[in-house]
């Protein structure tokens, strides 16, 4: 268990259990075991609360292998390992990854970050990095054609995609980019983000969270004007509205959402504002994508939180 051999063997045999990690309070993470339908509390993050709060609107998280990576502004990177049930703080990659507002995705044992801004709020095209959770190393990738922040990233059909975002002159992009690992080069895809971006109260135009199931790309457009699930039509390079996100998730004040792939399912998490729902809770919904409008199933409630600060899915 401690050296991860059991999870390597499970991957070889195609066996995987799914854990949904939710952060409902700053510095706290709880995992929902889909198989046993139970919540398990992870250790608190060993980080100064004021620093974490200062970066609260900037940080992101994703799972790669048996590691949960939580990014914050500046040199803030924490890694939680299920092998040791503990957190470590590292600065190994601070010369590589951006400070905030980047796109991120993971597949297998590798995670990818792209775009974002640096410590001085400069929009980046160069901050494209890959993290290998087996080797515990970071590797810079070639720069994108466009410097962009507030973008989404996804891994689909063996390639890395960065979609939408905002440029250094505040231009809202309608293009995306595709990275070919064999050629080690980026290709601009015009109009890939047409109708993709949303407007938020806090940050203005931003890309919605995206997730890939069975090599199909989906996104959750959750804002004060939109509440849709959309799908990317690869053949025609356009986004199609499939239907609505779970009923009651729409909120002009945006208490926070999460949208991730989990095996053959899409997972959506949303919280209720305490001022309106004193006994509300974060709710987890799932849907197996098909050709029909989405029908969301409520799979769990988390009673100790009313907002989704972060969501990550671990399959191992």
> Span 10-32, mean pLDDT?
87
Question: Does the residue 314 lie in any domain?
Answer: no
**Residue (of 267, 265, 253) closest to 302 by Cα position:** 267
CB contact at 8 A, 265 and 256: no
- Which of 26-35, 53-62, 82-91, 169-178 has the weakest average pLDDT? 53-62
Q: Is the pLDDT at 54 greater than 70, yes or no?
A: no
- pLDDT tens digits for range 192-238: 999 999 988 767 899 999 999 999 999 999 888 889 999 999 999 99
Question: Does the residue 286 lie in any domain?
Answer: yes
- pLDDT tens digits for range 83-141: 999 999 876 655 666 778 899 999 988 999 999 988 788 899 887 889 888 888 888 99
Question: Does the residue 43 lie in any domain?
Answer: yes
Question: Residue 13: CB partners within 8 Å, gap ≥ 6?
Answer: none
pLDDT of residue 25: 81
- pTM of structure: 0.92
Domain containing 140 equals 5-309
Q: Is the pLDDT at 173 greater than 70, yes or no?
A: yes
Give strand pairing partners of 8. none
Question: Does the residue 316 lie in any domain?
Answer: no
How far is Cα 216 from Cα 227, in angstroms, rounded to an integer?
A: 20
**Residue (of 109, 25, 121, 116) closest to 71 by Cα position:** 116
Question: Does the residue 315 lie in any domain?
Answer: no
> Span 227-252, mean pLDDT?
86
CB contact at 8 A, 232 and 255: no
Give strand pairing partners of 191. none
* Per-residue tokens: 275: 């001022």
Question: Does the residue 181 lie in any domain?
Answer: yes
Domain count, the chain: 1
Q: Residue 77 sits in a domain of what CATH number? A: 2.120.10.80
Question: Does the residue 41 lie in any domain?
Answer: yes
């Amino acid at each position: 268990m401690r050296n991860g051999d059991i999870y390597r063997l499970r991957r070889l045999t195609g066996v995987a259990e799914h854990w949904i990690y939710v952060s409902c309070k700053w510095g706290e993470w709880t995992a929902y075991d889909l198989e046993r339908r139970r919540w398990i509390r992870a250790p608190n993050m060993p980080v100064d609360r004021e620093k974490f709060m200062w970066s609260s609107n900037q940080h992101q998280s994703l799972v790669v292998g048996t590691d949960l990576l939580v990014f914050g502004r500046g040199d803030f990177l924490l890694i939680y390992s299920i092998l040791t049930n503990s957190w470590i703080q590292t600065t190994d990659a601070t010369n590589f990854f951006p400070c905030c507002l980047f796109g991120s995705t993971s597949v297998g044992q590798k995670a990818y970050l792209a775009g974002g801004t640096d410590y001085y709020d400069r929009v980046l095209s160069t901050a494209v990095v890959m993290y290998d959770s087996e080797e515990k190393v970071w590797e810079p990738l070639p720069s994108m054609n466009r410097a962009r922040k507030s973008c989404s990233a996804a891994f689909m059909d063996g390639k890395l995609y960065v979609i939408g975002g905002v440029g250094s002159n505040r231009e809202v992009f309608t293009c995306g980019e595709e990275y070919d690992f064999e050629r080690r080069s980026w290709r601009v895809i015009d109009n890939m983000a047409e109708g993709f971006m949303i407007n938020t109260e806090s940050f203005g135009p931003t890309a919605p969270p995206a997730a890939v199931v069975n090599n199909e790309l989906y996104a959750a457009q959750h804002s004060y004007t939109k509440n849709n699930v959309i799908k990317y039509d690869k053949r025609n390079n356009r986004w199609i509205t499939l239907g609505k996100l779970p009923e009651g998730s729409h909120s002009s004040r945006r208490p926070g959402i999460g949208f991730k792939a989990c095996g053959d399912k899409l997972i959506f998490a949303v919280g209720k504002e305490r001022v309106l729902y004193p006994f509300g809770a974060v709710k987890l919904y799932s849907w197996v994508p098909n050709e029909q409008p989405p029908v969301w199933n409520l799979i769990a409630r988390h009673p100790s939180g009313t907002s989704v600060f972060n969501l990550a899915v671990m399959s191992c």
